[in-house]
Amino acid sequence: MKKSLALMSLLAVLAAAGCGSGDAGANTLSFLGPEDPKTFQPVIDGFEAEHPGVRIAYTQIPFDQLNSTLQQRLAAEDETIDVYTVDQPRVSALAARGFLADLSDWKDRVKQAALPAQYDVNEFRGKLWSVPIWTSDQFLFYNKTLLKQAGVTPPSSDPAERWTWERTVEAGRQAQARGGAQWALIPEQIEQYYQLQSLPESLGGGSGITGTDMLTPALTTEGWIKAMTWYRDLFAGGLAPRGVGSFQTSPLFTEGKVAFFAGGPWDVGTFGAAKDLDWGVAPYPYFEGGKQVTPTGSWSWGINPASKRQRLAREFLEYAALNPEGNLLTTKASPIIPANRAAFEKYVPTLDALAGEKSRGAGEILTYDADHTAVARPRSVGYIQFEDIMTKTFADIRNGADPKTRLEQAAREVTTAWAQLR
């Protein structure tokens, strides 16, 4: 009995060991990213159809662990990664550590093919390190029913009639008082720099990072303090909820409790699927007397320098970023904006019609923002540390911390974190 047990377990181990990785062939490209495999299936199918005999093996890494996992594996020169997705503000840090292959010979091609704000984010120290796949924008969604009950005229979808934050808050307040709204205004990424950068930028406060090497914090400018004071008051005044995390906010709008919601194009699909919800879309607001600024940026793709399949990896990148057809396929399964200009133009009408009458105007806003108001996140080798510190800062301010003191503290923390990078 014991003998057979021992034998069985040995066999099991051997059998398990035998199921090795048979797919490490010369024509199999391994591709890593945080998205659901369904997202990339169309572009993978498209590429494989154009390149018979080539296979793309995609592996999903949980979003929260993507950066640490990549860091560890790329530092160990893991050649089982060929192509991977790069969060655009992290391009500099990854390039500085030698984790991205140089693509500078594509500079002109990428400049021509990509949307205006989508070339620079891939450049660091004069070289091109990754190719833009997606970009993003933010809209102001509003609940038609709540505004109607409050007797508020909803904002127009015309970018020329963009509302200010002040006007949005006032209308939201009325919807709370008379329309039965639980919350006046919720920014989707409630503690994320991606979304909140637009507030100080609109008031001329800058991105928060300055200097020729982009390693000096500038968080205590007048614009930053004013913007963060406004942000704190949003929560202190009961206009927006505390205790709800980024990306847990959209269910609140779906349930019809929120008058205004600042969210991305991906929400068009989600809100469109909610049957009883009547909503519309308007341009992302700005501060009165300030600049019109909208968040932008998304993901690029890059090549691992340790990969043994550089040529094939470049072909895949070329297809997904520079070929409009391939780039459009990356957006087929989830509503995100293609970064390739020609793909973008084809995509706009799709987004406009995604939720019928409700999403009308989204395409026009998207086109206008991409050319006029989009401001990308700063390019700095220290962005990763900066973003972490800012997330905590925003959380504290949201929970009532004094904006000026907290921003000064954040600036000190950033300086300490960057000391070793200088």
Partner 1 sequence: MSRRLYTLLATVIGLAFALPLLWALSSSLRGGSEIFQHISRLSWETLVPASPTLANYGALATGAFGRAILNSLLVALVTVVAGLLISAAAAFGLSALRFRGQGALFAIVVLSFLIPFDAIAIPLATLFRDWDLTNTYAGLILPGLGHGLAIFLLRQFFLAIPGDLVEAARIDGLGWFGVFGRIYLPLSRPALVSAGLTLFIFQWQSYVWPLLIGTGTDHQLGPIALANMRGQFTIDYGQLFAGSIVLTVIPLLIILRFQRHFTQSIATTGLK
**Would you tell me which residues interact with partner 1 (CB under 8 A)?**
2-3, 5-6, 8-10, 12-13, 16-17, 19-21, 23, 34-37, 57-65, 69, 72-73, 76, 78, 80-81, 182, 247-248, 250-252, 254-255, 257, 264, 266, 270, 274, 334, 336
Query: How many Cβ atoms from other residues are within 10 Å of residue 277's Cβ?
Result: 19
29 vs 113, which CB is nearer to partner 1? 29
Least Å distance, CB 4 to partner 1, is 11
142's enclosing H/E stretch is strand 139-143
128 burial type by CB count under 10 A (0-12 exposed, 13-18 middle, 19+ buried) = buried
210 burial type by CB count under 10 A (0-12 exposed, 13-18 middle, 19+ buried) = middle
- Token duo for residue 266: 């991906």
Across 168-323, the runs of DSSP E, i.e. the strands, are 183-187, 209-210, 216-217, 258-263, 279-283, 294-295, 299-303
Least Å distance, CB 354 to partner 1, is 14
What is the C-alpha separation between 146 and 292, in angstroms, rounded? 26
Least Å distance, CB 134 to partner 1, is 11
Least Å distance, CB 157 to partner 1, is 22
Comparing CA positions, the residue from 404, 67, 76, 387 lying closest to residue 209 is 387
Across 26-126, the runs of DSSP E, i.e. the strands, are 28-33, 55-60, 83-87, 123-124
Across 196-297, the runs of DSSP E, i.e. the strands, are 209-210, 216-217, 258-263, 279-283, 294-295
Length, in residues, of the chain: 422
Which whole-number Å values give the CA distances from 322 to 35, 327, 344, in the listed order?
Answer: 21, 7, 12
Helix locations, 51-98, DSSP H: 66-75, 91-96
36 vs 50, which CB is nearer to partner 1? 36
Query: How many Cβ atoms from other residues are within 10 Å of residue 269's Cβ?
Result: 15
Least Å distance, CB 76 to partner 1, is 5
59 vs 405, which CB is nearer to partner 1? 59
Q: Categorise residue 228: left if φ over 0, alpha if ψ from -120 to 50, beta otherwise.
A: alpha
130 vs 304, which CB is nearer to partner 1? 304
Least Å distance, CB 201 to partner 1, is 23
Least Å distance, CB 174 to partner 1, is 21
Least Å distance, CB 212 to partner 1, is 33
10 vs 421, which CB is nearer to partner 1? 10
What is the C-alpha separation between 404 and 406, in angstroms, rounded? 5
131 φ, ψ (degrees, to nearest 5): -115, 140
81 vs 389, which CB is nearer to partner 1? 81
Least Å distance, CB 13 to partner 1, is 5
Least Å distance, CB 199 to partner 1, is 21
Helices 222-236, 383-398: inter-axial angle, 10-degree rounding: 40
140's enclosing H/E stretch is strand 139-143
176 vs 254, which CB is nearer to partner 1? 254
136 vs 373, which CB is nearer to partner 1? 136
Comparing CA positions, the residue from 394, 410, 401 lying closest to residue 198 is 394
23 vs 233, which CB is nearer to partner 1? 23
24 vs 419, which CB is nearer to partner 1? 24
